[in-house]
């Protein structure tokens, strides 16, 4: 029956099938579902039919299409009382169940006799989510078992072969290591074909050789466990080149010039069967059986062995795919960790807040340099928002769709910094139990932000310089060069010139980093931004804590504006958060006493001049808010609400400062 007749996900058909490659297994599935003697079905965990072949549908006297979605009770009727407990046992224990039963099906006139295998199918987590049902009807054999002994023997042989195939599938599904599983697989096949020699060799396209992976030859005297075989003038190579199963006699083996063929003869092998392991993209290797008996392998055996070879080929392909998937999963896991964890937005405000000339100059520099791809060095005191500027450069650059990887060089111990940046191979040092992808590699196609770059130890600086110059590096413990395409943005609050003079920082690295330096102004150089930042943080923390704060006292705002903020924006944010916590009403309660104002920053030398400055700042601020609100004074979006004032108070101030509302109104 064509596979497209079944509403079945191929990745769940057989437990050894991997979703990444199972789409290539149609040949094997067709072999199972087209058999005329064996009924096959797949049941879900609720014992409903997912797929059924024509043979089983004929047994049920119900078209295959009408099985879809029906429970076994709907199809089997009272006979389900016999079958259902066994299926429940498979789901509960995860072990296969075999039974021989007799009974009456709803759509059949006479009682029938069947042999059934119920096989657990595991998902990726090991849970049994589906059951494979293999049914052979033996009604005729039961009625004629006395007179049809030969037919019964043939059926038993067929069952034996089918069981062998199922056993091989089970071994492959439960063990990814073919080197360990192959002797057991050979033992299962020996129950059917009675061979003495079995081997598995994989083709290496790099050197054109077949490399033996596993050997099962208990009576062998001189066979090497791991051997290399050429594909020219050898039995295995001939089968691989022609992509056809081949059987060789002892005389034919002796005619080969290959040393391995002569070894077969010296070991007494009189019959050799070579099965190529084929997949759509090309041959993978050769599966070989040998016997000391002449004509031990018949042409009828090739179909059975071809099914075994197909299972082996799929398992090998799955194994290769699983290794690639594991590598990808590790990389994706690392990226997810950084993107959702360490790369999570950790700055203290969600956007750049401020309208001062100093900040506008920085933003203009960001706009200029971001599209260029040049290396940027951000200088400034701690807490000024250097990371925020780095993210802005990334968002405005051509690599904005790539990752933004942050490394705080001061937060990582010196001994681990090289591994964090460049990664390491398994066993590169004590404790390196697995391969680690460094952040340089994770940042490929995006931006790498090195915060506190001045903390990088001197011995590591040449390796960073090489990345800047050649965009390449090697992981610890590896000899393979990795090429990356990333944009580097660095930041520091240290005086790198002083470090260069003290021979603590390389001069050539400094020149590479400071292609385009940007200096972040401290908060004391942009006091006009303080009221905006205060209101921004008040809204942020009030919303988070469920508070309603609408007024900020003028004396408190004046104190905040006059404080020199040694911790910059970070210090201001922390103070506002503490203030929101302390505020129980609509008025922000700022612990001004915590600001240890210095005399020179509190008492201006000329009070009249200070009053005029404050008056000018207040007038400019009100005008700016009026422009933004288009002259609207009241309401939720009005200027009074945004300024934290009553409407009448705002009108009084506008009158005193000679501000006309009509100058800023749209009407």
What pLDDT is recorded for position 146? 52
User: Considering all CA atoms of the chain, what is the largest pairwise distance in Å, rounded to the nearest integer?
Assistant: 126
Distance CA 486, CA 440 (A): 8
What pLDDT is recorded for position 611? 47
Q: How many CA atoms lie within 13 A of 144 on its CB side?
A: 12
- Residue 407 phi/psi, 5-degree rounding, is -130, 120
What is the CB neighbour count within 10 angstroms for residue 638?
A: 18
Helix (H) / strand (E) containing 134: strand 128-137
Helices and strands, counts by H and E, the chain: 25, 20
Compute the residue count for the chain. 667
What pLDDT is recorded for position 429? 75
Mean pLDDT by 10 residues, the chain (667 residues): 40 37 39 76 93 92 92 94 94 93 91 92 89 90 69 77 86 78 88 88 83 83 66 84 90 85 86 90 88 88 89 85 77 62 41 84 91 92 90 90 90 82 80 79 91 90 90 85 91 89 90 92 91 90 88 88 88 90 88 59 43 69 83 82 81 84 70
Helices 647-656 and 607-628: angle between axes, nearest 10 degrees: 120
| Structural domains in the chain, sorted by start | 3-170 (3.30.450.20), 178-321 (3.30.450.40), 343-521 (3.40.50.300), 526-663 (1.10.8.60)
Helix (H) / strand (E) containing 210: strand 209-216
Distance CA 91, CA 444 (A): 46
3-class SS shares of the chain: helix, strand, coil, % to 5: 50, 20, 35
User: Strands, E, within 219-349: which ranges?
Assistant: 228-230, 246-249, 271-279, 282-291
Distances (CA, A) of 442 to 324, 392, 403, 490, 512: 17, 19, 8, 17, 21
Helices 178-193 and 299-337: angle between axes, nearest 10 degrees: 160
β-strand partners of 121: 130
> Are the C-beta atoms of residues 552 and 644 closer than 8 Å to each other?
yes
Alpha helices by DSSP H, listed for 117-276, are 139-144, 149-174, 178-193, 235-242, 250-255, 259-266
Distances (CA, A) of 77 to 67, 99, 106, 236, 246: 13, 18, 6, 52, 48
Distance CA 171, CA 563 (A): 74
Residue 271 CA from chain centroid, whole number: 48
Helices 149-174 and 178-193: angle between axes, nearest 10 degrees: 180
What pLDDT is recorded for position 24? 36
β-strand partners of 122: 128
Distance CA 486, CA 478 (A): 21
């Amino acid at each position: 029956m064509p596979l497209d007749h079944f509403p079945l996900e191929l990745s769940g058909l057989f437990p050894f099938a991997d979703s990444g490659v199972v789409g290539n297994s149609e040949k094997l599935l067709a072999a199972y579902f087209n058999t005329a003697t064996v009924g096959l079905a797949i049941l879900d965990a609720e014992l409903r039919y997912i797929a059924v072949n024509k043979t089983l549908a004929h047994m049920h006297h119900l078209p295959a299409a009408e099985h879809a979605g029906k429970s076994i009770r709907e199809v089997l009727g009272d006979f389900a009382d016999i079958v259902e407990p066994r299926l429940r046992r498979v789901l509960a224990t995860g072990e296969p169940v075999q039974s021989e039963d007799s009974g009456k099906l709803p759509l059949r006139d006479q009682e029938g006799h069947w042999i059934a295998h119920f096989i657990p199918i595991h998902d990726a987590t090991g849970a049994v989510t589906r059951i494979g049902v293999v049914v052979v009807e033996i009604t005729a054999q039961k009625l004629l078992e006395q007179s049809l002994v030969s037919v019964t023997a043939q059926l038993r042989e067929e069952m034996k072969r089918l069981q062998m195939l199922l056993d091989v599938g089970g071994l492959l599904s439960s063990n990814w290591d073919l080197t360990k599983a192959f002797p057991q697989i050979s033992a299962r096949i020996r129950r059917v074909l009675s061979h003495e020699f079995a081997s598995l060799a994989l083709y290496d396209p790099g050197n054109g050789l077949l490399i033996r992976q596993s050997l099962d030859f208990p009576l062998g005297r001189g066979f090497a466990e791991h051997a290399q075989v050429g594909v020219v003038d050898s039995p295995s190579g001939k089968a691989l080149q022609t992509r056809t199963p081949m059987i060789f006699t002892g005389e034919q083996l002796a005619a080969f010039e290959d040393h391995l063929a002569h070894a077969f003869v010296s070991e007494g092998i009189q019959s050799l069967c070579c099965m190529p392991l084929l997949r759509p993209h090309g041959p993978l290797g050769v599966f070989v059986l040998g016997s000391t008996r002449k004509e031990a392998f018949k042409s009828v055996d090739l179909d059975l062995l071809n099914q075994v070879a197909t299972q082996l080929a799929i398992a090998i392909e799955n194994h290769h795919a699983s290794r690639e998937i594991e590598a990808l999963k590790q990389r994706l896991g690392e990226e997810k960790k950084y993107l959702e964890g360490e790369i999570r937005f950790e700055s203290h405000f969600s956007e750049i807040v401020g309208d001062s000339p100093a900040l506008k100059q920085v933003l203009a520099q960001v706009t200029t340099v971001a599209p260029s791809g040049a290396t940027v060095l951000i200088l400034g005191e701690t807490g000024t928002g250097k990371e925020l500027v780095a993210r802005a450069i990334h968002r405005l650059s051509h690599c904005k769709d790539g990752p933004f990887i942050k490394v705080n060089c001061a937060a990582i111990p010196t001994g681990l910094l090289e591994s964090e940046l460049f990664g390491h191979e398994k066993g590169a040092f004590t404790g390196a139990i697995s391969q680690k992808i460094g952040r340089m590699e994770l940042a490929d196609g995006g931006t790498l932000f090195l915060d506190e770059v001045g903390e990088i130890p001197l011995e590591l600086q040449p390796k960073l310089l090489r990345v800047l110059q050649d965009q390449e590096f090697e992981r610890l413990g590896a000899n393979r060069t990795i090429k990356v395409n990333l944009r580097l943005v660095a930041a520091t609050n240290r005086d790198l010139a002083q470090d260069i003079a003290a021979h603590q920082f390389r001069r050539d690295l400094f020149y590479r980093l400071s292609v385009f330096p940007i200096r972040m102004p401290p908060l004391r150089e942009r006091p006009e931004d303080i009221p905006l930042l205060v209101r921004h943080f008040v809204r942020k923390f009030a919303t988070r804590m469920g508070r309603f704060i609408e007024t900020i006292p003028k004396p408190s705002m004046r104190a905040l504006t006059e404080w020199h903020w040694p911790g910059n924006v970070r210090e201001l944010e922390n103070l506002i958060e503490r203030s929101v916590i302390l505020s129980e009403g609509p008025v922000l309660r700022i612990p001004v006493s915590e600001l240890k104002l210095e005399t020179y920053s509190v008492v201006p030398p000329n009070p009249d001049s200070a009053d005029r400055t404050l008056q000018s700042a207040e007038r400019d601020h009100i005008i700016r808010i009026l422009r933004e609100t288009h002259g609207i004074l009241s309401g939720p979006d009005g200027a009074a609400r945004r300024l934290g004032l009553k409407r009448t108070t705002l009108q009084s101030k506008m009158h005193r400062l000679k501000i006309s509302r009509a100058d800023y109104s749209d009407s």
